[in-house]
Structure 1
Amino acid sequence: MSEARPPFPPFDLDSALAKVQAAEDAWNSRDPHRVSLAYTEDSVWRNREQFITGRPAIVEFLTAKWERELDYVLRKSLWCFRDNMIAVRFQYESHDHDGQWFRSYGNELWEFDENGLMRRREASINDVPISADERRLFGPRPENERGAGHDIPLQ
């Protein structure tokens, strides 16, 4: 029996927004195993300069990421969708072990299988050092903004 992760493609606006919010929630948990369950067993990623294939590699990658990127908080915004594909913009903030904060800006292209699992993820990400007083992401998205496709400011 195959795993299933609704909503399923083809996506409409509501199901695409729900998929984006579910991804944001999972990544904000900072639980590599939980996050990996949204991907096919043989999911292929391009994350910055890294190429990753399969759930064990995803767990390994995310474990190392969240050991480096402390107090990680993410916001995703739906860019567009079609059939079994979704594109998002995102920002996240984190700091390193020396206390330097960063805001990371990026775009992701997602492709899903018929069971709603992501089989491909392409991520382009840029990091900008910020001071602690420039932070704007503090914990999970407020309830009144969840799943509504709220945009995130560019600066």
Structure 2
Amino acid sequence: MTSSKSRPPIPPFSHEEAVLKARKAEDAWNGQNPEAIAQAYTADSQWRNRAEFLQGREQIIAFLQRKWSQELQYRLIKEVWCYTDDRIAVRFAYEWQDAAGQWYRSYGNENWQFDKQGLMAARHASINDLAISEDQRKFRWPLGPRPDDHPGLSALGL
């Protein structure tokens, strides 16, 4: 099932459009609004996030609400790894703090597939967490979208 509402950029993607699509996703996730984020996915979007399998916007919203109730001070950077007509692969890192005050940097890869309207129909994410000290943090902008002048993953050596 797909929505008739378009979510540009739409496939087939150019390099610039793949980079823009990844940045829009990064900005949305950094905004931490599960209901708004879910609108970028098809109504029946299928996810694998670590070992958790989700289907549909309602499950996506519940997952994101749960995620950000546990992963505090969340800041994310995504970088396009490769793309084809209707697929984009990104690598990412995000930093967060648990309720006890321990900081983590989570590293991962996502594989995305889009429908003809530019909505994500499938998302497969593999993620590993690394405990870090506060002084090892690299993502120090105020909560919300990453500032345009903040370095990306490659520039940070991540």
Q: Is the 8 A contact 2:42 2:120 kept in 1?
A: yes
Percent identical pairs in the alignment equals 51
| Greater alpha carbon shift after TM alignment, 131-140 vs 8-17 | 131-140
Runs of 4+ in 1 over 4 A off after TM superposition: 152-155
Summarize the Cα distance change of 1:144–1:115 in structure 2 as closer, same or farther, 3 Å threshold. same
Cα deviation for residue 141 of structure 1 reads: 2.4
Q: Is the 8 A contact 2:93 2:153 kept in 1?
A: no
User: What SS is found at the alignment partner of 2:149?
Assistant: helix
Does residue 88 in structure 1 map to residue 90 in structure 2? Answer: yes
Residues in 2 aligned to 1:111 and 1:154: alpha-carbon distance in whole angstroms: 28
* 1:43-65, Cα deviation, whole Å (9 max, x unpaired): 00000000000000000000000
User: What SS is found at the alignment partner of 1:116?
Assistant: coil
Normalising by the residue count of structure 2, what TM-score does the alignment of the two structures yield? 0.92
Question: Runs of 5+ in structure 2 lacking a partner?
Answer: none
Match in the other structure for 1:106: 108
Task: Identify which of 44, 47, 55 aligns with 1:45.
Answer: 47
Residues in 1 aligned to 2:96 and 2:113: alpha-carbon distance in whole angstroms: 27
Match in the other structure for 1:143: 148
Paired letter, 1:122: H
* 1:1-60, Cα deviation, whole Å (9 max, x unpaired): 711100000000111011000000000001111111110000000000000000000000
Alignment of 1:38-77 (within 5 A): 38-77=40-79
Normalising by the residue count of structure 1, what TM-score does the alignment of the two structures yield? 0.93
Match in the other structure for 2:131: 129
* 1:71-100, Cα deviation, whole Å (9 max, x unpaired): 100000010000100000000000010000
Q: Is the 8 A contact 1:85 1:109 kept in 2?
A: yes
- Count of matched residue positions in the alignment of Structure 1 and Structure 2: 153
Q: Is the 8 A contact 1:77 1:152 kept in 2?
A: no
Q: Is the 8 A contact 1:46 1:123 kept in 2?
A: yes
